[in-house]
Every structure is written in C-alpha cells, then in structure tokens.
Structure 1
Amino acid sequence: MFALKGRGATKIRTESAAQVADVDDLFVLPRPLRRVVRFLVSLATGRIHIPAHVGTVSAVAFYAATGLYGMSLGGHTQVVAQATTSAAGFAIEDVTVSGNSETSEIEVLQLLGLDGTTSLVALDINAAREKLSHLPWVEDVEVRKVYPKTIAVTLKERKAFGIWQHGSELSLIEKNGSVIAPLRDNKFANLPLFVGRDAESAAASVDEDFAKWPEIRSRIKAFVRISGRRWDIHLDDGIIVKLPETGIDRALAMLSRLDAEQDLLQRDIAAVDLRLADRTTIQLTPDAATRRQVALDARTKALKKAGKQI
C-alpha cells in the first residue's frame, strides 16, 4: 500500500481545516427555532400558499377569543349566553307543574325567576331544582327542559299526618314528626291534634299503639303529651282518658270492655283514669257531680227518716 504525498494533498488538508474552523465559529439555532425560521423563509419566498381570507378569519377568531376571555373575567358569560339563545328562539314561554296539591304554581314561577326572556338553553337545571326543594311541601322535585320553549316541573309533596300545637302556634307535621308548615286554614281540621313537649316526635307511635282499637282511634280529637312520657287522649264528646306510660294496650282493652258492657263513654263523665293497672277511676262532669250529690243527699235523708220511724 502506498500513500501519495505532495503539494496538492497539503492544499486540500489546509482548506478542510479552514472550513472546520469556520463552522465552529457559526451560531447554530436550537432545533425548535430552526423550524420556525424555515417556515418564515418559505413564507417570505412564496413557497407556501396561503388561502384567501385567512387573515380575515384569523382576525375574527382573535377578537372572538378576546371577547370570550373578557366576558369570563367579568362574569358576564351567562348573561351573554342567555341573551344570545333567547334571541335565537329559545326563550322560556311555558312552565308545566304536576304533582302539586299544596304548592301553588305561582310559588314555583317566583322561585324559578322567569321574566319572559330567560333562555331555556342557559337555564341551570340543578340550581332550579335546589331552589324548588326548599318549598315547605316539597319532598322531591324533578325539573326537565322540553325544547324549544318549555320547562316541566314534577313535584312529590309531603303528607300531613297531624297538627302539632306548640305554645300558641299550630303546625302541620308528617308521621315522623317533621314540621311541614304553619297551619293557615281549616282544610286540615280533621287531622288529630298533638299537644305538648315532644308530642310531634312521639306521634309516630300512635298508629302502632291504637291499631287494634279503631273504634276508639276514630273518636280521638287530640293527643296531649304529659311530661314527655305518656298520653292523655281527648275524645270527640269531651271525655279525657288518661293512659299509662307503659301498657297502653292493656288500658285500651279495659276502656273498650267498660264501654261495651256499661256504655261508659256514653255517660255524663269528664275523665277516665287508666294509669293504674289494678283500678279504674271515673271523674264525673260538674253537672253530673251535682246531680249525684243531690241524689246522695236525698238518699241520706231518706235513710235517716226510715231509721227514726223504726
């Protein structure tokens, strides 16, 4: 193997070394910037074709994005969306309410806050449902959008079980004792009255305690809670029956038997005390007590007169 040496080889080596030195002196752009520079050079030299109206569309998009950003910062997005969709024909014009017996449609409309320009598209269903759920009679509520212009509201209302008297106030309560609303009219006058401390929470036990005695239950007008421990029941003819703290079933059985055998509840009495298991105490009305005292006095005089004659 042979290597050639001479002036030509020396010259080539000298030029190559100089080129390497020049490259080392050049500034090399980072890779991402090289792509940008190539794109700008191609754009300037006309090698990239730009479709017509790209500038106009870009300007519109830029101003639209700027406007949306400004609305977002200013909190006006909902207002603009509402106005836009209403103008497009989605303004709410009809509200249907079903399942309501005690809740008026006016209350529903007031809480929804509809003003004739409210947009169905922009309406917040969850917020509307939350507002309606706070109405006194509402147990559950469903709100649906029916396009293009209707809202459908379906209510499930609570059921009144009785009237609770607390102080001078009267409130309607559910069977579990939850207060529904103040009593405003005589519509619920036939419901039983629960009076006294904790009477509303103890009301749930009434159906169970009186289930076997419907004839007595049907005559009760008021359940009066005594010291948060027991009931006095007030019947429709004014008779008060004092029940024990425990053993209510036994006491009601005794009351039913006395009424069946002696027409106890048809007599002129004021109260029946069943609190003691071994005795029943009867309290007469004032008129009956007066008549009884007159009869006793007359009997006593007759006995004395008969004694003297003997």
Structure 2
Amino acid sequence: MDGGGRVVFAVIGRKARRLRGARLPLPAADPDGRLVLPRPFRRMARFLVNLASGRVHIPAHTGTISAVAFYAATGLYGMSVGGYTYSFAQSTTTAFGFAIEDVKVSGNNETSEIDILQLLGLDGTTSLVALDIGVAREKLAHLPWVETVAVRKVYPRTIEVTLKEREAYAIWQHGSELSLIEKNGSVIAPLRDNKFTALPLFVGQDAEAAAVDFEEQFAGWPDLKTRVKAFVRVAGRRWDLHLDNGVVVKLPETDVQRAMQELTRLDAEQNLLERDIAAIDLRLQDRTTIQLTPEAAARRQAVVEARDKAVKKAEREKQI
C-alpha cells in the first residue's frame, strides 16, 4: 500500500511465470515493500476497491430483487423437503389455464374410456403441465386388454391416448371359470360378454397353451371343425372332440391325422355321426369302438332279447 492509501498489485514478470512450476516460496512483498496478493484474490480485491470508491454502478431495486429471489428459493426448498412441489406446480399451472379439459382416446374397442379416466385421476383441476406422462402410461398398460399405449400432451388443455389392444383367439374353460385367451395362450380377461361365444372353446388344464397347435391340425377338415363345440384336453396328453349333436370323438395322443381320416371314412360310408351314438373311440390304430347312447343301448338290448326268444321258439317247434 502506498502513501495515498491505495493497494498496489505487483505484476509477475515473464521470468516468474516460467518459474511458476518450481516449488519456490512466493515473496510476501515486492522490493519496495508493497503488499503482493496471491493471483486468485487480486480480481476480488480490485472489485471491492472499485465498489468502495463508487466506480461500480449497482442498479436500482437490486436488493429487493435479491431478497425476493432468496425467499423464493427458500420456499421452493421447503416445499421440496415437505413433498409439496407437485401440488404447488399443479395449482399454479392450472391457474394459468393449463387444466386438462379434453381426453381423446383411440384404439379402444374393449377398453372403457371411464376406466382410462379413472386411472389417470383427472378431476377437472389436473394440470397438463404437472401430469407425469410416464406414470400415466404405466397405469394404462396394466389394463387387461391393453397391449401397448401411447400418451401425448397437446397444449394447452388436451391429452391424447392411443391404444393397441390384444386380440381374443379363443375361450378357455378351467374349472368353472371362462377366460378369453390370445393366440399364444396368454389370458386376457374373464369372459363377460356373449359376443365372444363364436370363438372356439378349449377345456382343461394346459388346454390354452396347446390350443393353437391342435386347432391348426383341423385345417384340412373344415366341415368337421364347424361341428366341434369344445376341444377337451385329457390328462394333458390328448384331446376329445365334443360335437354339436352330443357325440364325443376320442382322439389318440399321436397320429391325429390318421384318426381323422378314419372318422371321415366311417361317416361317409355309414353316416356314423348322425346315428344314435354317444362316443367314437379312435385311440387304437387297429380298431374303432362305438359307444351307444343309453336309449340306443336299451333299444339294441330289446332287439337282441327279442331275437334270442325267436331263436329259442323256433328250436322248440323244430323238436316237436
């Protein structure tokens, strides 16, 4: 500091800069005895000197603005710690005209718009700005029929929801429950609507997983396939066909095509499927077993008994 009270900063020369990397102690003062500040503090000291001397101009209301900014930052921090940030953003943006007023839904053939609105939690005051698209998408993805979902904000007050729904392939009966399933066997939802009754019915444990592979084997037998009311899985190994007239066709575990060809031949030659029978057993390759209905069995038994009586009567008459 010189005699006039001014702080004098020493300028480090080229030689000093070249020796900066050397670990030599810096002098506390120059040869004239004036104070030398470390380099990082020189700009700060220069600013303080200029500020004290009035050379730095401070705009009006700087103090007020700084105080407001400080209190605002403190308030935001407090809301963040207390968990009120979302509520504050919601109420603030709603007040500025960003309340959600319209929800446009597309691709929902089976999904109710009411279910979508309930999951989104819209109450007329929900802010479009504060709505978390990721959370909304995750909620809608858990709806039974939804395969994929896209949610988009359309400012200032609209949400667009686009769905791609799963496709029902068949009905699966497991116990007393009826469920709609996809082609890959995944369960979509319980059966609640009669409009799906035209879908094929698969019954039994593991029937939903084996449904597609088995039904594809009937591509060459369309007439018979239309008569099947239920495909029943037996012991997880083979299938029974329940026809529309009550006849049960028991298929083998393997070589289903051979059994189907035999069934077609018997029906063409003897009109087998229109007879009063209960079941056709095709499980054995070397024989086909026919089971009659109780009424048909009773009629057959009466015919057999009448024939036996007639034979015995003829034998008695012959002996006389």
TM-score range for the pair, normalised by the shorter chain length: 0.7 to 0.9
Aligned-residue offset at 1:126 = 1.2
What letter corresponds to residue 305 of structure 2 in structure 1?
D
For residue 273 of structure 1, the aligned residue among 240, 260, 281 is 281
Number of the residue aligned with 1:196 = 204
Question: C-alpha displacement at 1:184, in angstroms?
Answer: 2.6
Residue of structure 2 aligned with 1:156, choices 151, 164, 167: 164
Match of 1:175 in 2: 183
- Residue 300 of structure 2: aligned partner: 292
Q: 1:305 & 1:159 partners in 2: Cα distance?
A: 69
Read off the aligned partner of 1:92 and give its amino acid letter.
I
Q: Helix, strand or coil: the match of 1:187?
A: helix
Q: RMSD between aligned alpha carbons?
A: 1.9
Look up the match of 2:76: 68
What secondary structure does 1:152 align onto? Answer: strand
- What is the match of residue 8 of structure 1? none
User: What is the CA–CA distance in structure 2 between the aligned matches of 1:67 and 1:77, rounded to whole Å?
Assistant: 10
- What do the CA deviations read for 1:21-57 (whole angstroms, capped 9, x no partner)? 772xx66432222211210110111111222333333
Q: Which residue of 2 aligns with 1:214?
A: 222
Structure 2 partner of 1:85: 93
SS at match of 1:241: strand
Do the aligned partners of residues 74 and 29 (structure 1) sit closer, same or farther apart at CA in structure 2, a change above 3 Å counting? farther
Partner of 2:63: 55
Q: Give the number of equivalent residue pairs.
A: 290
What amino acid does structure 2 have at the position aligned with 1:87?
A
Does 1:232 find its partner at 2:240?
yes
Partner of 1:16: none
**Pairs within 5 Å for 1:130-169:** 130-169=138-177
Equivalent-residue separation in structure 2 for 1:40 and 1:233 (angstroms): 97
Equivalent AA in structure 2 for residue 99 of structure 1: G
Q: 1:45 aligns to what?
A: 53
Cα deviation, 1:195-246, whole Å, max 9, x if unaligned, reads: 2221111112133121111111111111111111000111111110101111
* Alpha-carbon separation, structure 1, partners of 2:291 and 2:239: 17
**Helix, strand or coil: the match of 1:275?**
coil
TM-score normalised by L of structure 1: 0.87
3-state SS of paired residue (2:303) = helix
Partner residue, 2:116: 108
Gaps of 5+ in 1: 1-18
Aligned AA (1:266): E
- From the two aligned structures, give the one with the greater helix fraction: 1
- Closer, same or farther in 2 for the Cα pair 1:216/1:225, shift >3 Å? same
> Aligned partners of 2:35, 2:77: CA distance in 1, in Å?
40
CA distance in 1, matches of 2:45, 2:77: 31
Q: Which residue of 2 aligns with 1:4?
A: none
Q: Following the alignment from structure 1 to structure 2, what is the Cα–Cα distance between the partners of residues 218 and 76?
A: 63
**Secondary structure, aligned partner of 1:205:** helix
1:290 aligned counterpart, secondary structure: helix
* Equivalent residue letter for 2:59: P
**Alignment partner for residue 290 of structure 2, among 282, 286, 298?**
282
Q: Distance in 2 between matches of 1:156 and 1:219?
A: 33
2:150 aligned partner, one-letter code: E
Amino acid across the alignment from 2:290: I
Q: What is the CA deviation profile of residues 107-148 of structure 1, one whole-angstrom value per residue up to 9, with x for unaligned ones?
A: 111110111111111111111111011011111111111222
Among 186, 189, 199, the alignment partner of 2:194 is 186
- State the match for 1:260 in structure 2: 268
Greater alpha carbon shift after TM alignment, 51-60 vs 115-124 = 51-60
Letter in 2 for 1:65: A
